[in-house]
Amino acid sequence: MKILISGSSGLIGTAATTALKSDGHNVVHLVRPGKAANPGDVQWDPMRATVDVAGLEGIDVVIHLSGAGIADGRWTEERKQLLRSSRIDTTRVLVDSLSRLKQKPRLLIVASAIGYYGSRGDEILTESSTTGTDFLALVCRDWEAEASRAAERGIRTVMLRTGVVLSGKGGALPKMLPPFKLGVGGRLGSGQQWMSWIAIEDVVGIVRHTIANEQVSGPVNVVAPNPVRNEEFTRLLAGMLHRPAIFPAPAFVLRFAMGEMADAVLLSSDRVKPEQILAAGYKFRFEILEPALRAAVLSRM
């Protein structure tokens, strides 16, 4: 197949590109102005709503992973606008372009996040659960609404509601390791909030499974089957580094330092189950946190 990926330089995009090429697929990328391009790559400028539509002809699968980093800066009004536009507006531009093709792709995979659900305490959340009401939940809701327009045009569409991705090569884990290595790591807030995590190997595995299985459509929770509480996560991480986990970060300190983002990213409780992908027959490589976390930590060392 010919597969087009946006956001290919990110953690998931890089891993997916490598894996799909190894499967024998022809992988090309959506490239913004000023970025290096390889033969077959497609130029686009989503901020100007321009895409090389002719270059999209003949693409079988589109994987849209673009989006500014959620935790890369304090959520000022300007930053929040960027977080929205880099997801919602880019998806609108891409779907509009795909809709104009003579031969539409058979599948569009769009990134989303479990932030869709908001913080829900101990409630078990599946793909049929309602959306939350905070900023991140509303971004995800509108993001997925733009992606869903592709389904209305006959393109099988999948939204990947991804949890905390465990990888030694990027994402949250490399940012967590330094304080734990120094022995000053600990739980966040009460530590009772649920963390829905997934190994990068299973993120790629779910992408592969989605491409191969036409029954998969709509929202898919990209999380391992066994979420843990934050205090369990920090205990395991500290133990692997042979350090204590006795320096908690109080919620009020996190809120003072990070503002609104603290509640949405660090203190949010998301007990999410991957109901749809399990029903589609996907077998997780890492179902339990400890081996997944150990593999990610070792890959960092």
pLDDT digits (tens, 9 = 90+) for 256-272: 888 998 888 899 999 99
Say how far residue 267 (Cα) sits from the centre of its chain: 18
Looking at residues 177-192, what average pLDDT do you find?
A: 88
At 48, give phi and psi (nearest 5°): -100, 5
pLDDT at 30 over 80: yes
Looking at residues 278-299, what average pLDDT do you find?
A: 95
Mean pLDDT of the chain: 94
255, two tokens: 């809120």
Looking at residues 27-50, what average pLDDT do you find?
A: 87
Which pLDDT band, with edges at 50, 70 and 90, does 123 fall under? very high
Residue-wise pLDDT tens digits, 194-227 = 999 999 999 999 999 999 999 999 999 999 999 9
pLDDT for res 271: 98
Q: What's the whole-model pTM score?
A: 0.95
pLDDT for res 299: 84
pLDDT cut 70: percent of the chain above it? 100
pLDDT for res 5: 97
Residues 52, 45: Cα–Cα separation, whole Å: 9
More confident site: 32 or 105: 105
Which pLDDT band, with edges at 50, 70 and 90, does 153 fall under? very high
Which pLDDT band, with edges at 50, 70 and 90, does 301 fall under? low
User: Strands (DSSP E) along 48-151, which ranges?
Assistant: 50-51, 61-64, 107-113, 124-125
125, two tokens: 């959340």
